[in-house]
Amino acid sequence: MIALSAVDPGKPTIDTLIVPVCEDRDLHRGFVAELIGKVRRGQSFTGESGETLAWVLPEEDATRCAVFMGLGKGADLSGETWRKFAGRAMSYGMGRKLKALHIAVPSAEGAGMAEADLIAAVAEGVCLGNHVFNRYKAEKKRQPVEMITLLTGPGAAKAHRSLVERLETICAGTRMAREWVSIPSNDKVPEVFAAEVAAAAKAVGLKATVLDEKTLRHKGFGALLAVAAGSDHPPAMAVLEHKPRGAKKTVVLVGKGVTFDSGGINLKPAGSQIEEMKMDMAGAAAVAATLITAARLNVPMRLVGVLPLVENMPSGRATRPGDIVKSYAGKTVEIGNTDAEGRLILIDALAWAVQQYKPDVVLDLATLTGACVVALGEKIAGLFSADEALVEAVLASAGRTGERCWRLPLPEDYKEQIKSEFADISNLGATRWGGAITAALFLSAFVEKTRWAHLDIAGPAYAKKGSDYAPAGGTGFGVRLLVDLLEQL
Ligand code: BES
Ligand code: MN
Ligand code: ZN
């Protein structure tokens, strides 16, 4: 819970006040500026990036402990600096199991930013940073802080109350996606995960249905079923719908939901991050959390979230390399590699969703290829789309939210790569080069007449190590980006 309050030095007593400090710029006024003056005179604190100093104040002071956090040079300040700072503040509080924390938010002039943007960034850093994934640990070393107060200038408290509430809702969506991704595969097999998502969706008023294995077989989801064939846990497809009265546009979001990707018969070898493949449903988690968030925010358009859920396992019943299966769209697919499973479940989900909902726009999120991580690293998603306006909109949202995307091409001539000798198309490129592109081109063959964008989130969906405003594990990447995007479309 975040409260906004005008700076009032005398009362009430503040146990812990977090104070951001720049090396070369005065961010604050009033009693906070005085505190900084004192600590600077002691020459023990400069404000360089990453520096932290906790200072116990004399008895007569209304503040018990001031914690100074360095931000570096004033010229380098950005929204991301403030998110990171607020995340560090929460990390400090969580590590000490503090119940309450006050943060001194600088004046807009001091920070060189519009007041709303500054407060938004700090609030986001607080909500995203105030999170631990410790449900599998008996000893909870860190605990979220219950009450966070942002001390702002007079007037700001009232003016930005609803902005902060909105951000709390959105960031709760990110945290929800993170948790789902971090849960181990043994506790989120397809039917279990589908039921959990449906329950969470219904709780906020979404329509939620789960198609079971029998239904999927009946409807002809041949590519999806081929991936699920090797597992003892049957597949499922969860469909969430937000349909506000008077909605004109329909947007479909599809998320890859492989609850564990062993690679199948093309079993992943050691060193291929097989032990992290519980994260292979991060696209589905982001889509579900986005739908839930959109319902809470009353986004004024019809939204459908489609989550194809499977476990990719080797067994005597598993699909073999070289097998040919019939996809939902009717095209046959030669399975060149059972580890290229994400695109198989996605084409069936995409083709079904386009036929069923006739959407204005379709987006899919998928931890699709290691090649995308090779190209863009672990923090940037690959964006594929032939629709210039849609690309612009996604990149603008990426800029605003800090969930970075980079456009990669869909070259027509590379389609040569996914031709099959025996079937209509192959799920494997003829060479290993440009793997993120051939995967995207494969998908594009199944959404030909609809405005569509594909986000390969294999890099940013999961973090082995925690960072300033995210614990280790699922990052919830995509939720803030998609919510921002939906409000632009
Ligand atoms: N889930 C993986 C992609 C992945 C890799 C996600 C690393 C996150 C981190 C995907 O199903 C996969 O295995 N892709 C293969 C495709 C190949 C067989 C054409 C890959 O990237 O190696
Ligand atoms: Mn795979
Ligand atoms: Zn996968």
Ordered domains of the chain (ranges, CATH) = 2-157 (3.40.220.10), 170-488 (3.40.630.10)
For the Cβ of 484 lying below 6 angstroms from any atom of ligand 1, the answer is no
Q: What ligand has the least distance to the C-alpha of 259?
A: 3
CB atoms within 10 A of CB 255: 33
The pLDDT value recorded for residue 247 is: 95
Task: Give 264's pLDDT tier (boundaries 50, 70, 90).
Answer: very high
Burial 127-151 (b: 16+ CB within 10 A, else e): bbbbbbbeeeeeeeebbbbeebbbb
pLDDT in tens, 369-415: 999 999 999 999 999 999 999 999 999 999 999 999 999 999 999 99
The pLDDT value recorded for residue 12 is: 65
Average pLDDT over residues 124-130: 98
pLDDT in tens, 293-324: 999 999 999 999 999 999 999 999 999 999 99
Q: Which atom of ligand 1 is nearest to the CA of 268?
A: 13
Report the residue among 369, 373, 426, 475 best suited for mutation to probe ligand 1: largest number of ligand atoms under 8 A from its CB.
Answer: 369
The pLDDT value recorded for residue 63 is: 86
Cis amide bond preceding 12, omega within 30: yes
Q: Say whether pLDDT at 94 is over 70.
A: yes
Proportion of the chain above pLDDT 70, given as a percent? 99
The pLDDT value recorded for residue 60 is: 80
Average pLDDT, the chain: 96
Which active-site residues does the annotation give? Answer: 268, 343
The pLDDT value recorded for residue 8 is: 65
Least confident of 1-10, 102-111, 149-158: 1-10
- What's the gap in Å between 172 CA and the centre of ligand 2? 29
For the Cβ of 176 lying below 6 angstroms from any atom of ligand 1, the answer is no
CA distances, 194 to each of 225, 267, 284, 293 (Å): 16, 25, 10, 17
Q: Is the pTM of this model over 0.95?
A: yes
- What's the gap in Å between 7 CA and the centre of ligand 1? 51
CB atoms within 10 A of CB 270: 7
- What's the gap in Å between 259 CA and the centre of ligand 2? 11
The pLDDT value recorded for residue 62 is: 83
Strand partners, 103: 18, 150
Contact between 441 and 364 (Cβ < 8 Å): no
CA distances, 165 to each of 85, 88, 119, 144, 437 (Å): 20, 21, 12, 18, 39
Q: Say whether pLDDT at 250 is over 80.
A: yes
Q: Output Rg (C-alpha) for the chain, integer angstroms.
A: 24
- What's the gap in Å between 138 CA and the centre of ligand 3? 31
Higher confidence at residue 348 or residue 43? 348
Which residue minimizes the CA distance to atom 8 of ligand 1?
458
For the Cβ of 321 lying below 6 angstroms from any atom of ligand 1, the answer is no
**H/E element, 474:** strand 473-474
- What's the gap in Å between 428 CA and the centre of ligand 2? 11
For the Cβ of 428 lying below 6 angstroms from any atom of ligand 1, the answer is yes
DSSP H stretches of helix in 408-478:
435-444
Average pLDDT over residues 420-428: 98
Average pLDDT over residues 247-253: 97
Q: What ligand has the least distance to the C-alpha of 279?
A: 1
Q: Say whether pLDDT at 11 is over 70.
A: no
Q: Say whether pLDDT at 279 is over 90.
A: yes
Q: Measured in Å, how far apart are the chain's first and last C-alpha atoms? A: 30
